[in-house]
Amino acid sequence: MNKVLAGFVLVALIISSMAIIGLADAFKVAFVTPSTINDSAWSQSMYDALVTIQNEMGKDNFQFVYSENMYVISDAAAAIRDYASQGYNLVIAHGSQYGGSLVDIAPDFPNTAFAWGSTANTFSDQGITNIFSYQPYSEQGGYVNGVLAAKLSETGMMGVIGPIETGDAKRYTEGFQAGVMATDPDAKVSVTWTGSYSDVSLSAETARTMIKAGADVLTGTSQMVIGAIGVAKKEGAIWFGYDVDQAPLAPEIVVSSVVVDWTVALRPMIAAIQSGTMGGKVYDLTLANGGLKIAVNAEGLVGKTIQAIINGDIVVGE
Amino acid sequence: MSWSIIIGILSSGIRLATPYLYAAVGETIGQLSGVVNLGVDGVMLMGAYVAFFVALRTGSLSLGLIAAAGMGGVFGLIMAFISVTLKAEQGISGIGLYLFGLGLSTFLFGITIRNVQTIDGFPDLAIPGLSRIPVIGEIFFQHNILVYVAFALIPIAWFLLNKTPFGLKVRAVGQNPEAADSLGVNVARVRYLTVTLGGMLSGVAGASLSIALLNTFQQNLTNGMGFIAVALVYFGGWRPVLVFAGALLFSTVNALQIWLQVAGINVPSDVALMLPYIVTILVLAAMAKRRVNAPAALNKRFERGES
């Protein structure tokens, strides 16, 4: 009898202590990214998503750390390995340049899940089971911007300033071109690749050259485009944004921005990890699932009209 | 190719050359006295950050410009202290200064301004009369004030280095510091002055980006321009006029490659992007034999009393 009781007590103790440990163990994420978390583009969009998730789950249940400025891939690989060995639940390598490093590192840490993008490759064909991937269907957002751009352009010429012809930037640009062509087959879209994600000066001069050549609507991707936005603002050309809502940079000229909401990939990814799946899934971010959103400039005509209706300044119907 | 395109390319080239002019002229003066400062890019970043921060907070572009020159001067003093007083190896300490400027400007931006913002920088200033001259006016006389000052800097630097006692001292210290010292020239003081002046000009180079040409600040805004500026000093053989020519050549070819892509001319973007570098290397190779002007004491530490 005593032995049975002692057995029950022991089991109860074990279960309750496991529960306590379980509660105390927050879900821990490490985030490695090539630029800074305040870049108004790629890195900031993921950082903002992590902050959102933390607010949803609470600081006790979700913690994250980050390493920014990891543009040197070997530095990033060292950071990824460090985080994995410290027992983080999920390590996000936020850049398509980090794939090679993950293939090396992930198999050594079966209890850590890794995620990277933009790509559909989880390396499951190489037998790796703990890598997730994510990919925004940037062409969908690009198409929407393209349709609007073609409608708004008076000269019929538009310019796209991209970094390197690959990944997100390429998909967005192709979508933008398709949207323009579907709306105005006679329009011209000039695409320029600057060869750099960070050459603000080159992006500014490219914008200036495009405007000189007759473009009155511009768009572009990566953190260097702030140079182009500055020029567009000065010259009065229309700008369409990507990655984050870029209207605050130039409220007078930004019409809309394609915003990537990474929480749409992060929420199911975290749920999968908590239920024991460590990788092998691709998370798409689309207009249909809300992973891509079109942010309308609140200080533009559409935004102001919406706000006026909400405030009751405009009453529609009776 | 129509006139308007040529005008556009040349006018772009002039704008693109502006930051290089400030930084490269500053570096030329320092190198003529015998000090190589490879940290130009870091000093430019600090100048760009401070100018933007001050202009954003006070609304005064002029204050931003002065702050950038001051910050550049402080960084120049640091370089002078390390290389002249402590006699550290110049190349390595310059790289250190670059990394310090890159890191510090990123850090300060992160804690003071946080998010990328834009401001209204120095406006374009059409020079009355001159800007109306066909072609020439559009290429040369419709820029912001910092572009004009950059161009005025070339004759000023030439005059300072070739026609004043100070210039003579600078060159003497760079060619033969022992001889200059024996004639009563204070080698250390001359080098402190040139390196600090070089730092101030690098700071202004950064400001020309953040409050005149790009009107924003972002981590690593210069993207390595400071290193191109150092290369331009060698390209120009330590003569301000040739440094100026090199900056214009590099920037104009850069403007040309932008135009090639915008015009949809069928050149792969990677090839277009290589153009400025290829042309610069070709010209450098062609002029290789003319490099006789190098300061003999460049990159050498000066110990008083040594022979």
Residue A18 in this model has a pLDDT that exceeds 60: no
Query: For position A185, what pLDDT does the model report?
Result: 96
Q: Which 8-state DSSP code applies to residue A221?
A: -
Q: A264 pLDDT band (50/70/90 cuts)?
A: very high
Candidates B214, B257, B275, partner chain A, best to mutate (most A CBs within 10 A) = B214
B165-175 and B187-208 helices cross at what angle (nearest 10)? Answer: 110
Q: Which of residues 54-83 of B touch A (CB under 8 A)?
A: none
Low-confidence ranges of chain B (pLDDT < 50): 307
Q: State the pairing for strand pair A113-117/A90-93.
A: parallel
- Residue scoring higher pLDDT (B121 or A304): B121
How many residues appear in chain A? 318
Using a CB-CB cut-off of 8 Å, the residues of chain A touching B218 are 39, 198, 200, 223, 226
> Is the bond preceding A257 in cis, omega lying within 30 degrees of 0?
no
- Cα B113 from Cα B99, distance rounded (Å): 21
Is A299 within the bounds of a domain?
no
Q: Are residues A219 and A273 in the same domain?
A: no
- Cα B109 from Cα B106, distance rounded (Å): 5
Q: Is B222 left (phi over 0), alpha (psi -120 to 50) or beta?
A: alpha
Nearest Cα of chain A lies from the Cα of B190 at a distance, in angstroms, of: 34
Residue extents of the structural domains in chain B: 18-236
Query: For position A318, what pLDDT does the model report?
Result: 63
Strands in A113-117's sheet, in edge-to-edge order, are A62-67, A27-32, A90-93, A113-117, A131-136, A282-285
Lowest mean pLDDT of A6-15, A268-277, B64-73, name the range: A6-15
Q: A193 lies in which domain range?
A: 138-260
Which amino acid, one-letter code, is at A117? Answer: G
Residue A158 in this model has a pLDDT that exceeds 90: yes
Q: Which two tokens stand for residue B217?
A: 């600040």
Query: For position A5, what pLDDT does the model report?
Result: 64
Find the mean pLDDT for residues A90-110: 94
CB contact under 8 A, A204 and B8: no
Q: Pick from A50, A87, A42: which is nearest to A69 by CA?
A: A42
Nearest Cα of chain B lies from the Cα of A66 at a distance, in angstroms, of: 14
Query: For position A20, what pLDDT does the model report?
Result: 47
Query: For position A13, what pLDDT does the model report?
Result: 60
Residue B29's Cβ-side half-sphere holds a number of Cα atoms within 13 Å equal to 31
Find the mean pLDDT for residues A35-62: 92
The partner residue sitting opposite B264, judged by closest CB among A165, A190, A195, is A190
Is A309 within the bounds of a domain?
no
Q: Are residues A126 and A112 in the same domain?
A: yes
A226 neighbors A249 (Cβ within 8 angstroms): yes
- Residue scoring higher pLDDT (A317 or A309): A309
Spacing of C-alpha A181 from chain mean position: 26
CB contact under 8 A, A226 and B118: yes
Q: A23 pLDDT band (50/70/90 cuts)?
A: very low
CB contact under 8 A, A205 and B258: yes
Query: For position B49, what pLDDT does the model report?
Result: 98
**What residues have CB less than 8 Å from A256, skipping those under 6 apart?**
A144, A145, A148, A240, A241, A294, A295, A296, A297, A300, A302
Q: Are residues A132 and A267 in the same domain?
A: yes
Question: What burial letters (b/e) apply to B3-37, b meaning 16+ CB within 10 Å?
Answer: eebebbbbbbbbbbbbbbbbbbbbbbbbbbbbbbb
B298 neighbors B36 (Cβ within 8 angstroms): yes
pLDDT digits (tens, 9 = 90+) for A194-229: 988 889 999 999 999 999 999 999 999 988 999 999
CB contact under 8 A, B263 and A233: no
Q: Does A213 touch chain B (CB under 8 A)?
A: yes
Query: For position A108, what pLDDT does the model report?
Result: 95
Q: Pick from A32, A144, A124, A123: which is nearest to A77 by CA?
A: A32
**What residues have CB less than 8 Å from B128, skipping those under 6 apart?**
none
Query: For position B73, what pLDDT does the model report?
Result: 98
Q: Are residues A92 and A43 in the same domain?
A: yes
- Residue scoring higher pLDDT (A197 or A154): A154
Find the closest chain A residue to B7 by CA distance.
A212
| CATH code at position A142 | 3.40.50.2300
- Cα A139 from Cα A242, distance rounded (Å): 11
Find the closest chain B residue to A159 by CA distance.
B262
Query: For position B284, what pLDDT does the model report?
Result: 79
Q: Which 8-state DSSP code applies to residue A156?
A: S
CB contact under 8 A, B218 and A205: no
Q: Are residues A167 and A120 in the same domain?
A: no
Is A7 within the bounds of a domain?
yes
Q: A12 pLDDT band (50/70/90 cuts)?
A: low
A156 neighbors A123 (Cβ within 8 angstroms): no
Alpha helices in A62-166 (DSSP H): 73-85, 99-105, 138-152
- Cα B88 from Cα B299, distance rounded (Å): 10
Is A305 within the bounds of a domain?
no
Which amino acid, one-letter code, is at A131? Answer: I
CB contact under 8 A, A200 and B254: no
Q: A61 pLDDT band (50/70/90 cuts)?
A: very high
Find the mean pLDDT for residues A162-182: 94
Q: Pick from A199, A222, A158: which is nearest to B276 by CA?
A: A199
Secondary structure percentages of chain B, helix, strand, coil, to 5:
75, 5, 25
Q: Does A192 touch chain B (CB under 8 A)?
A: yes
Query: For position B264, what pLDDT does the model report?
Result: 82
Query: For position A217, what pLDDT does the model report?
Result: 97
Q: Are residues A203 and A116 in the same domain?
A: no
Cβ-based neighbour number of residue A155 at 10 Å: 14
Candidates B147, B254, B262, partner chain A, best to mutate (most A CBs within 10 A) = B262
Q: Are residues A162 and A198 in the same domain?
A: yes
Helix (H, G, I), strand (E, B) or coil at A90: strand
Q: Does B106 touch chain A (CB under 8 A)?
A: yes
Across the strands, what pairs with B90?
A: none
| Phi, psi dihedrals of residue A290, rounded to the nearest 5° | 85, 0
Q: Are residues A83 and A127 in the same domain?
A: yes
Is A295 within the bounds of a domain?
no
Is A164 within the bounds of a domain?
yes
Spacing of C-alpha A94 from chain mean position: 9
Percentage, residues of chain A above pLDDT 90: 75
Q: A121 pLDDT band (50/70/90 cuts)?
A: very high
Q: Which of residues 231-260 of A touch B (CB under 8 A)?
A: 233-234, 248-250
Residue A16 in this model has a pLDDT that exceeds 80: no
Q: Are residues A80 and A162 in the same domain?
A: no
CA A165, A171, A173, A174 torsion: positive or negative? positive
pLDDT digits (tens, 9 = 90+) for A63-87: 999 999 898 899 999 999 999 999 9
- Cα B124 from Cα B147, distance rounded (Å): 9
Query: For position B307, what pLDDT does the model report?
Result: 47
Q: Which residue has tokens 């950059």? A: B150
CB contact under 8 A, B118 and A195: no
Q: Pick from B264, B257, B262, B268: which is nearest to B16 by CA?
A: B257
Cβ-based neighbour number of residue B77 at 10 Å: 15
Q: Does A226 touch chain B (CB under 8 A)?
A: yes
Is A316 within the bounds of a domain?
no
**What residues have CB less than 8 Å from B64, skipping those under 6 apart?**
B50, B51, B52, B53, B54, B55, B58, B207, B210, B211
Per the structure, the count of domains in chain A is 2
Using a CB-CB cut-off of 8 Å, the residues of chain B touching A165 are 269
Residue A160 in this model has a pLDDT that exceeds 70: yes
Is A311 within the bounds of a domain?
no
| Phi, psi dihedrals of residue A120, rounded to the nearest 5° | -105, 10
Query: For position B267, what pLDDT does the model report?
Result: 84
